[in-house]
């Protein structure tokens, strides 16, 4: 292995944390890791690898035939017809070399100026593919953010993008890594080219490609097992994990994969989000394309977990991350760190790290989102749309409850074998941990759910038969088709790392509650004794002060509650409910006029302020406006403290435009403040400081509800 210190090359925007090489234990652990990844089937066989190469060769022939056909049809002269060409490039997991058996191949077709996207790519090429017997499951998506065609070619899944360059002839040795390739290109072409450009840049910016690939395979597998691998759900996708792993490789350039995996968790457990992850300094370029820059772009200031792409124009690849999903991922990073430390002490192994997350054991309450359609094609379209909107439901619940109710979206959908045109999604629900469960008011999210369904039903391609319903269910009511084999387990998982931690948390929480109660009782007795003497006025004043202290304690002292990896819900299920039925079911007759109707059982309606405070748009507070005006964006600075592998992701302040630091990055040290997700509509922005003034504290307890359906 080439030593980075010897060849003098530095990777990344900071100095490495450690240049140390592997120990004997690292070598042993890395061999164990590689064998583990092999045994779980993450590597494709040689036969499938050859088939992929053959399929890519066939695809290259198809697009070259296509470009000749449309060039001839458009009457180009003989020279241009002879030179007409289109090129195929790969990106994503296949280009990075971390794809597994059955994975699709992300491909890009680059064509000349006369081959249009709408008329030729989604016209003539689509027609050609539809007529080929070796092409199946053809699915064009022309109106996507990045237009593409999905299909299978000889059984291999292909996602094909198109980039239309302002050139009459596409050279066979085209280098798309040059920024000049973006000159005069339309936005869709820039986005399509970005995948290939970012992938190639990542491979250039890591010190050891093989170690990077093994570590990335490990982290991708871990993220999928732990339920945090999904960009559309608000977690991280393939490119995000690749960028995070690449940064760790830069910080530990001589480490083997086992150590890189351990340091991955150590670094990102201590990372101070929203400081961005950068593989290189950001180049503003000379083409005028918008890059990620919170100094100029207010929306960029709102990103919770910025992971910046290294190719121009630099973008945040993780803009979907919300407060809830960031909380879940940081919790998983901490779990990974703890297990890696236990592995170093021979108290855990790779099986422990890769234990699947028991989603349907982790919470007591869930939202079940059911969708259906009239036929398979409609269901596919409906699923794609609903999946792209589910993240909005998480954001709406967070916003309308001021982060008091936390959501954990499941990254996969489930289908009941007895209902082939039906699909279900699930979200775990929990009260914000550390917030007292006591309080006189109950909580109602029916209007939030109704607003979400109204948004989903605004789908432009909606047709009769496309249905959606949102129901609140208890853990015991989870349908059996979500479990392996359709059989509900008779008992919860025992003996796993997570179950042991849940037990420890319960014991710790019980002890904390007992300590808190004893302390409060002793405090009350002390105050009662101190006011037992004196005149009546003093006694009265003392009584008033004692009552005031009790109220203050009841409203502001954080009471620990038993939490089982998210099970921090109120122990009193009769106190209130999560209401997921639409408001119109209880308040309206389907029209705009209100009607008098007795609410169904277990549905709580507010007649006073709480529901209005949740639903009524509020003007932005002065503090929020000042925050937007004076926000300073931070960049990480990694420091090596003493001889320890301690990470300090320090904040940084934006310098004047054009200024750079000694390492080439346009940022210097400073302070940064965390941001909340901003509402979709500006009038609903409310700063957390104003939330604390709202009284009384909402009580969170849950009961199941009747089902709710709408179009």
The pLDDT value given to residue 405: 87
Among 198, 306, 219, residue whose Cα is nearest residue 263: 219
300 with 197, same domain: the answer is no
Query: Would you say residue 187 lies in a domain?
Result: yes
Burial of residue 507, with CB atoms counted within 10 A of its CB: 0-12 exposed, 13-18 middle, 19 or more buried: exposed
Range ranked top by mean pLDDT from 15-24, 513-522, 690-699: 15-24
217 with 318, same domain: the answer is yes
377 with 407, same domain: the answer is yes
The pLDDT value given to residue 10: 79
663 near 639, Cβ under 8 Å?
no
C-alpha distance from residue 655 to each of 306, 315, 414, 553, 659 (Å) = 19, 19, 49, 44, 6
102 three-class SS: coil
302 with 347, same domain: the answer is yes
Gap between the Cα atoms of 443 and 606, Å rounded: 9
211 with 347, same domain: the answer is yes
Among 264, 208, 205, 203, residue whose Cα is nearest residue 236: 264
- Mean pLDDT, the chain, rounded, equals 76
Summarize pLDDT for 25-42 with one digit per residue, the tens. 999 999 999 999 999 999
Range ranked top by mean pLDDT from 425-434, 533-542, 648-657: 425-434
Stated length of the chain: 711
33 with 54, same domain: the answer is no
270 with 185, same domain: the answer is no
Contacts for 121 with CB less than 8 Å, ≥ 6 apart? 109, 111, 115, 149, 162, 164
Q: Is it the case that residue 637 has pLDDT exceeding 60? A: no
Its pTM stands at: 0.73
The pLDDT value given to residue 509: 56
* Dihedral (Cα; 308, 278, 313, 236), 10-degree rounding: -20
**Considering its fold, how many domains does the chain have in total?**
3
Ordered DSSP codes for 634-667: --------TTS-------EE--STT---TTS-S-
Summarize pLDDT for 502-560 with one digit per residue, the tens. 666 656 656 655 555 555 555 555 544 444 444 444 434 443 443 233 323 333 322 22
Taking the alpha carbons of 598, 599, 600, 601 in that order, is the dihedral positive or negative?
negative
78 with 190, same domain: the answer is yes
The pLDDT value given to residue 515: 58
The pLDDT value given to residue 508: 60
pLDDT > 90 fraction of the chain, expressed in percent and rounded: 58
Gap between the Cα atoms of 403 and 406, Å rounded: 6
Among 119, 296, 285, residue whose Cα is nearest residue 197: 285
Confidence of residue 563 (pLDDT cuts 50, 70, 90): very low
Summarize pLDDT for 279-310 with one digit per residue, the tens. 999 988 888 899 999 999 999 999 999 999 99
Question: Residue 77: which CATH number?
Answer: 3.30.460.10
Gap between the Cα atoms of 418 and 26, Å rounded: 50
Question: Residue 306: which CATH number?
Answer: 1.10.1410.10
Burial of residue 21, with CB atoms counted within 10 A of its CB: 0-12 exposed, 13-18 middle, 19 or more buried: middle
* Higher pLDDT, residue 119 or 671: 119
333 near 254, Cβ under 8 Å?
no
Confidence of residue 562 (pLDDT cuts 50, 70, 90): very low
The pLDDT value given to residue 439: 53
Query: Would you say residue 503 lies in a domain?
Result: no
Summarize pLDDT for 233-247 with one digit per residue, the tens. 999 999 999 999 999
Contacts for 656 with CB less than 8 Å, ≥ 6 apart? none
Q: Is it the case that residue 595 has pLDDT exceeding 80? A: no
Contacts for 512 with CB less than 8 Å, ≥ 6 apart? 560
Confidence of residue 574 (pLDDT cuts 50, 70, 90): very low
Query: Would you say residue 530 lies in a domain?
Result: no
232 near 391, Cβ under 8 Å?
yes
* Higher pLDDT, residue 180 or 665: 180
* Higher pLDDT, residue 227 or 621: 227
Contacts for 434 with CB less than 8 Å, ≥ 6 apart? 558, 559, 560
436 near 389, Cβ under 8 Å?
no
287 with 317, same domain: the answer is yes
The pLDDT value given to residue 286: 81
Query: Would you say residue 641 lies in a domain?
Result: no
Q: Is it the case that residue 710 has pLDDT exceeding 70? A: no
Residue range 561-590: average pLDDT?
34
* Domain final residue pick, 293, 328, 357: 357
430 with 342, same domain: the answer is no
C-alpha distance from residue 560 to each of 429, 431, 498 (Å) = 18, 12, 19
Among 694, 56, 77, 79, residue whose Cα is nearest residue 402: 694
Residue range 641-648: average pLDDT?
39
Gap between the Cα atoms of 93 and 42, Å rounded: 12
Contacts for 297 with CB less than 8 Å, ≥ 6 apart? 290
* Higher pLDDT, residue 561 or 580: 580
Q: φ, ψ for residue 87 (rounded to 5)?
A: -120, 150
Among 276, 399, 434, 408, residue whose Cα is nearest residue 329: 408
Gap between the Cα atoms of 18 and 28, Å rounded: 20
Question: Residue 476: which CATH number?
Answer: 3.30.70.590
- HEC string of 19-71? CCCCCHHHHHHHHHHHHHHHHCCCCCCHHHHHHHHHHHHHHHHHHHHHHHHHH
Query: Would you say residue 499 lies in a domain?
Result: no
The pLDDT value given to residue 201: 96
Residue range 607-628: average pLDDT?
31
* Higher pLDDT, residue 471 or 501: 471
Quote the tokens at residue 469: 């319903």
108 with 167, same domain: the answer is yes
* Domain final residue pick, 304, 332, 357: 357
The pLDDT value given to residue 559: 23
Q: Residue 225's domain spans which residues?
A: 12-41+206-357
* 55-59, 349-353, 572-576: range with lowest mean pLDDT: 572-576
Chain position carrying tokens 């504290």: 697
349 with 372, same domain: the answer is no
Query: Would you say residue 639 lies in a domain?
Result: no
Summarize pLDDT for 505-521 with one digit per residue, the tens. 656 656 655 555 555 55
Query: Would you say residue 211 lies in a domain?
Result: yes
Contacts for 598 with CB less than 8 Å, ≥ 6 apart? none
Gap between the Cα atoms of 492 and 206, Å rounded: 42
* 219-228, 439-448, 472-481: range with lowest mean pLDDT: 439-448
Query: Would you say residue 555 lies in a domain?
Result: no
Residue range 204-219: average pLDDT?
97
């Amino acid at each position: 292995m080439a030593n980075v210190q010897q060849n003098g090359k530095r990777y990344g925007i900071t100095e490495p944390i450690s240049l140390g090489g592997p120990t004997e234990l690292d070598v042993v652990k890395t061999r164990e890791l590689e064998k583990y990844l092999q045994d779980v089937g993450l590597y494709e066989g040689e036969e499938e690898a050859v088939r992929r190469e053959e399929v890519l060769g066939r695809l290259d022939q198809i697009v070259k035939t296509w470009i000749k056909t449309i060039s001839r049809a458009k009457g180009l002269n003989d020279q241009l017809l002879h030179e007409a060409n289109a090129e195929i490039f790969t990106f994503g997991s296949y280009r990075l070399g971390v794809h597994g058996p059955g994975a699709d191949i992300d491909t890009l077709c680059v064509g000349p100026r006369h081959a249009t996207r709408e008329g030729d790519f989604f016209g003539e090429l689509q027609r050609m593919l539809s007529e080929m017997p070796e092409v199946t499951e053809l699915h064009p998506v022309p109106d996507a953010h990045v237009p593409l065609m999905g299909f299978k070619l000889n059984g291999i899944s292909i996602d094909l993008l198109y980039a239309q360059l302002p050139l009459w002839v596409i050279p066979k040795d085209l280098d798309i890594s040059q920024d000049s390739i973006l000159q005069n290109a339309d936005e869709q072409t820039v986005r399509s080219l970005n995948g290939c450009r970012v992938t190639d840049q990542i491979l250039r910016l890591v010190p050891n490609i093989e170690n990077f690939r093994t570590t990335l395979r490990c982290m991708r597998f871990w993220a999928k097992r732990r339920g945090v691998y999904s960009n559309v759900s608000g977690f991280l996708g393939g490119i995000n994990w690749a960028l995070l792993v690449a940064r760790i490789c830069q910080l530990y350039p001589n480490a083997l994969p086992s150590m890189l995996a351990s340091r991955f968790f150590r670094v990102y457990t201590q990372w101070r989000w929203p400081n961005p992850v950068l593989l290189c300094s950001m180049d503003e370029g000379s083409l005028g394309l918008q890059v990620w820059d919170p100094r100029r772009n207010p929306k960029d200031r709102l990103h919770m977990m910025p992971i910046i792409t290294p190719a121009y124009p630099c973008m945040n690849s993780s803009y979907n991350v919300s407060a809830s999903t960031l909380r879940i991922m940081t919790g998983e990073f901490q779990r990974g760190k703890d297990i890696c430390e236990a592995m170093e002490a021979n108290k855990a192994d790779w099986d422990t790290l890769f234990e699947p997350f028991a989603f349907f054991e982790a919470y007591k309450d869930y939202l079940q989102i059911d969708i259906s359609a009239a036929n398979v094609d409609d269901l596919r379209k409906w699923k794609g749309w609903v999946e792209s909107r589910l993240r909005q439901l998480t954001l709406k619940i967070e916003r309308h409850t001021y982060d008091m109710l936390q959501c954990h979206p499941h990254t996969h959908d489930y289908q009941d074998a007895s209902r082939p045109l039906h699909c279900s999604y699930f979200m775990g629900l929990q009260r914000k941990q550390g917030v007292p469960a006591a309080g006189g008011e109950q909580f109602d999210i029916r209007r939030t759910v109704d607003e979400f369904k109204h948004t989903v039903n605004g789908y432009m391609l909606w047709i009769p038969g496309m249905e959606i319903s949102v129901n609140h269910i208890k853990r015991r009511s989870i349908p059996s088709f979500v479990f392996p084999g359709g059989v509900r387990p008779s008992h919860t998982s025992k003996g796993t790392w997570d179950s042991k931690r849940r037990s420890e948390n319960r014991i710790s929480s019980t002890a904390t509650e007992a300590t808190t109660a004893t302390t409060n009782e002793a405090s009350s007795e002390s105050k009662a004794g101190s006011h037992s003497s004196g005149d009546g006025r003093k006694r009265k004043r003392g009584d008033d002060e004692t009552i005031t202290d009790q109220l203050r304690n009841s409203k502001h002292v954080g009471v620990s509650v038993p939490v089982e990896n998210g099970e921090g819900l109120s122990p009193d299920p009769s106190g209130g409910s999560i209401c997921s039925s639409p408001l119109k079911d209880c308040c309206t007759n389907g029209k705009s006029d209100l009607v008098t109707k007795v609410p169904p059982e277990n549905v709580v309606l507010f007649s006073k302020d709480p529901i209005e405070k949740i639903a009524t748009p509020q003007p932005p507070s002065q503090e929020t406006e000042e925050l937007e005006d004076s926000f300073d964006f931070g960049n990480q600075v990694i420091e090596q403290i003493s001889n320890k592998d301690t990470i300090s992701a320090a904040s940084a302040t934006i310098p004047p435009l054009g200024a750079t630091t000694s390492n080439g990055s346009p940022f210097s040290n400073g302070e940064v403040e965390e941001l909340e997700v901003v509402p979709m509509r500006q009038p609903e922005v409310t700063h957390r400081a104003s939330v604390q003034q709202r009284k009384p504290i909402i009580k969170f307890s849950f009961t199941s509800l009747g089902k709710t359906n709408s179009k």
